[in-house]
A and B are shown apart, each in its own frame.
Chain A
């Protein structure tokens, strides 16, 4: 384990909204190449943890490192799919256009996207099954379809670390399987994927790494070692009987 590269390291992170701490003294190490679930009840601070790793929220204490350096220096290594995109849904733009925005980072300032970027974006739309909708204005997509467009946008960013805040929220069973297969593909390609996940039943099947969070970090590690009743009870406060496939 010590030989593995650490993709994300969080040290003593404390975050507060209006002086009320919602994350207490979090320490976390996520090794490269895992597909990790963050689980915890509503309001546990899962979204807040991701947002503070990405510098969207300033912590009151602690630090975060992406491959050993602050996030500001590693932006291009990271792609993020927010829980509910804080985008302007009425913006005059199509699904394809939104996905193309994911390629802007590689282009840098001033340079415009060309055929190569367009091709990559179409492929990503194809992967998430949204190709037929490429010219649709984004507000005219259903919630699950919007979610898939944003997943496609993250895919074209070609990052090393992916953060996804509840990507399965409001998507149907077929799409859920399609998405998890894409995530598993990413892991196979050596990427690190962090997913906020609510369906405890599917954790062992989908993920190989898990973090239990409820204001404090309860546990983090391989699913087969730590995904057990004890940790679930500590996190959710009531006794959970989840069959863990071994």
Chain B
């Protein structure tokens, strides 16, 4: 395998491994926690390094994961005092732990080759150089094996505990009542997240790890209201952004991690703007449509209440109901498109469909019961609750 392919393979595995716990972190509104973990594991790594004197020792990963879980415990303990909010608690804990790590490195800078930049930014380009050699045979980049292992474990746990994770994230009270301890699941998720962060940050750096966990999940969240689809979409977004970021770095001769993070951000921005129902533009369009539909309904009610010809003239809309020309044209078009009115010689008449529509809409507005208007939801935003 050549280095290019290996880098992309590592990126893919890291992206999938991050996207899965990321979905649950985003749904639990714990996005910041991944940031905290990624920084506060530093002292764990440094201490592990002092003990083993070997940057590749599995003890490093273990100690770092322990520090990650300690971070979560500390954040929760501070939060429980009720004196500060969660984000404040996170802001208190991780700089403290991170700086302990920095001080430890600085104090021993002479005999340790570990630098903060490398930890934070990482460099995927170097990942293929660190090989795993088993009894003299080169079996591939070490980080591919580490992350592959973590990914397998994560996927295994996701399949085994999908329903437990779902119910405890959605409704912790019910989860406890059904016998699925939310505490156990919470710390399980935190452990998986910590291990993933630790395993990945060596290859891609802390910043990209956080981006890979949060951005794909946040993007997917805008596109679906089905948890399984959200997981699949997150994985797709994570992997495609990582690969696209790699090639962007290749052509711009820029940092791989930086490019990947940028692509993740751009993908999120695009979806945030253009997502079909939760996107910014869709929301604005819907609000505009709803305004028109309210006007339409007022107009139909007016027709319903008035038989006199003078009240049913097209011009009358502009004068009497007091709409601007543009507005009344939009309303008339909408009504005609849905066969709610007929216009003959500038005289507007309610069709039988229009009559039925008006009655149902009126009933819905009064009773707020939407059983009977299900069929109207497809054409009109107004009735979608």
Binding site for B on A (CB under 8 A): 54-56, 75-76, 78-80, 82, 85-88, 91-94, 98, 101-102, 104-105, 107-110, 112-113, 132, 137, 140-142, 153, 157, 172
Closest 8 CB pairs of A and B: A105-B178, A137-B225, A87-B171, A92-B225, A91-B170, A101-B167, A92-B227, A140-B385
Binding site for A on B (CB under 8 A): 27, 160-164, 166-167, 169-174, 176-180, 221, 224-227, 229-230, 367-371, 374, 384-385
Contact of B385 among A98, A102, A142 (CB under 8 A): A142
In the bound complex, CA of A86 to CA of B177 (Å): 14
Is the pair A109, B180 in contact by a Cβ cutoff of 8 Å?
Answer: yes
Contact of B169 among A56, A79, A88, A102 (CB under 8 A): A88
Contact of B160 among A86, A88, A110, A137 (CB under 8 A): A110
Is the pair A104, B170 in contact by a Cβ cutoff of 8 Å?
Answer: no
In the bound complex, CA of A112 to CA of B163 (Å): 7
The binding surface of chain B is classed by DSSP as helix
A54 and B227 in contact (CB under 8 A), knowing A101-B166, A132-B371, A142-B385?
no
Residues of the A chain whose Cβ atoms lie less than 8 Å from the Cβ of B227: 91-93
A101 and B385 in contact (CB under 8 A), knowing A92-B225, A108-B179?
no
The binding surface of chain A is classed by DSSP as loop
Is the pair B167, A172 in contact by a Cβ cutoff of 8 Å?
Answer: no
In the bound complex, CA of A132 to CA of B372 (Å): 10
> Could you list some 21 contacts between A and B, CB below 8 A?
A54-B177, A75-B178, A79-B177, A86-B171, A88-B27, A88-B169, A93-B166, A94-B225, A101-B166, A101-B170, A101-B174, A104-B164, A104-B180, A107-B163, A108-B179, A109-B161, A110-B160, A110-B164, A137-B225, A140-B384, A157-B178
Residues of the B chain whose Cβ atoms lie less than 8 Å from the Cβ of A93: 166, 170, 225-227
Residue of A at shortest CB range from B368? Answer: A142
In the bound complex, CA of A93 to CA of B162 (Å): 14
Residue of A at shortest CB range from B179? Answer: A75
Residues of the A chain whose Cβ atoms lie less than 8 Å from the Cβ of B167: 101, 104
Is the pair A113, B163 in contact by a Cβ cutoff of 8 Å?
Answer: yes
What number of A-B contacts does a CB cutoff of 8 Å give? 87
Residues of the A chain whose Cβ atoms lie less than 8 Å from the Cβ of B369: 172
In the bound complex, CA of A160 to CA of B288 (Å): 50
Q: How far is the CB of A100 from chain B (nearest CB, A)?
A: 9
Is the pair B173, A82 in contact by a Cβ cutoff of 8 Å?
Answer: yes
Is the pair B374, A75 in contact by a Cβ cutoff of 8 Å?
Answer: no
Residue of A at shortest CB range from B29? Answer: A88
In the bound complex, CA of A109 to CA of B370 (Å): 38
Contact of A76 among B179, B221, B225 (CB under 8 A): B179
In the bound complex, CA of A201 to CA of B164 (Å): 42
A91 and B27 in contact (CB under 8 A), knowing A112-B163, A142-B368?
yes
Residues of the B chain whose Cβ atoms lie less than 8 Å from the Cβ of A101: 163, 166-167, 170-171, 174, 178
In the bound complex, CA of A76 to CA of B177 (Å): 7
Interface centre among A80, A102, A105, A113 (most CB of B within 10 A): A105
Residues of the B chain whose Cβ atoms lie less than 8 Å from the Cβ of A102: 174
Residue of A at shortest CB range from B220? Answer: A92
6 additional A-B pairs beyond A78-B177, A172-B369, beta carbons within 8 Å, are A92-B227, A92-B229, A94-B226, A101-B178, A110-B164, A142-B370
Residue of A at shortest CB range from B82? Answer: A18
Q: How far is the CB of B98 from chain A (nearest CB, A)?
A: 30
Is the pair A92, B226 in contact by a Cβ cutoff of 8 Å?
Answer: yes
Q: How far is the CB of B24 from chain A (nearest CB, A)?
A: 11
Q: How far is the CB of A70 from chain B (nearest CB, A)?
A: 14
Q: How far is the CB of B131 from chain A (nearest CB, A)?
A: 37
A56 and B174 in contact (CB under 8 A), knowing A93-B227, A141-B385?
no
Residues of the A chain whose Cβ atoms lie less than 8 Å from the Cβ of B385: 140-142
In the bound complex, CA of A157 to CA of B160 (Å): 22
Is the pair A104, B171 in contact by a Cβ cutoff of 8 Å?
Answer: no
Residue of B at shortest CB range from A55? Answer: B176
Residues of the A chain whose Cβ atoms lie less than 8 Å from the Cβ of B171: 85-88, 101
Is the pair A86, B173 in contact by a Cβ cutoff of 8 Å?
Answer: yes
Is the pair A104, B173 in contact by a Cβ cutoff of 8 Å?
Answer: no
Q: How far is the CB of B231 from chain A (nearest CB, A)?
A: 10
Residues of the B chain whose Cβ atoms lie less than 8 Å from the Cβ of A88: 27, 169-171
A104 and B225 in contact (CB under 8 A), knowing A82-B173, A142-B368?
no
Is the pair B230, A105 in contact by a Cβ cutoff of 8 Å?
Answer: no
Is the pair A105, B179 in contact by a Cβ cutoff of 8 Å?
Answer: yes
Residues of the B chain whose Cβ atoms lie less than 8 Å from the Cβ of A75: 176-179
A105 and B161 in contact (CB under 8 A), knowing A87-B171, A93-B170, A141-B385?
no
Residues of the A chain whose Cβ atoms lie less than 8 Å from the Cβ of B225: 92-94, 137
Interface centre among B27, B161, B167 (most CB of A within 10 A): B167
Residues of the A chain whose Cβ atoms lie less than 8 Å from the Cβ of B27: 88, 91-92
In the bound complex, CA of A109 to CA of B230 (Å): 23
Q: How far is the CB of A159 from chain B (nearest CB, A)?
A: 9
Interface centre among B174, B224, B225 (most CB of A within 10 A): B174
Q: How far is the CB of B174 from chain A (nearest CB, A)?
A: 6
Residues of the A chain whose Cβ atoms lie less than 8 Å from the Cβ of B367: 172
Q: How far is the CB of A41 from chain B (nearest CB, A)?
A: 25
In the bound complex, CA of A78 to CA of B178 (Å): 9
Is the pair A104, B169 in contact by a Cβ cutoff of 8 Å?
Answer: no
Q: How far is the CB of B381 from chain A (nearest CB, A)?
A: 12
Is the pair A104, B177 in contact by a Cβ cutoff of 8 Å?
Answer: no
In the bound complex, CA of A24 to CA of B190 (Å): 39
In the bound complex, CA of A66 to CA of B368 (Å): 40
Residues of the B chain whose Cβ atoms lie less than 8 Å from the Cβ of A140: 384-385
Is the pair A80, B177 in contact by a Cβ cutoff of 8 Å?
Answer: yes
Residue of B at shortest CB range from A110? Answer: B160
Q: How far is the CB of A89 from chain B (nearest CB, A)?
A: 10
Residue of A at shortest CB range from B229? Answer: A92
Q: How far is the CB of A134 from chain B (nearest CB, A)?
A: 12
Is the pair B371, A104 in contact by a Cβ cutoff of 8 Å?
Answer: no
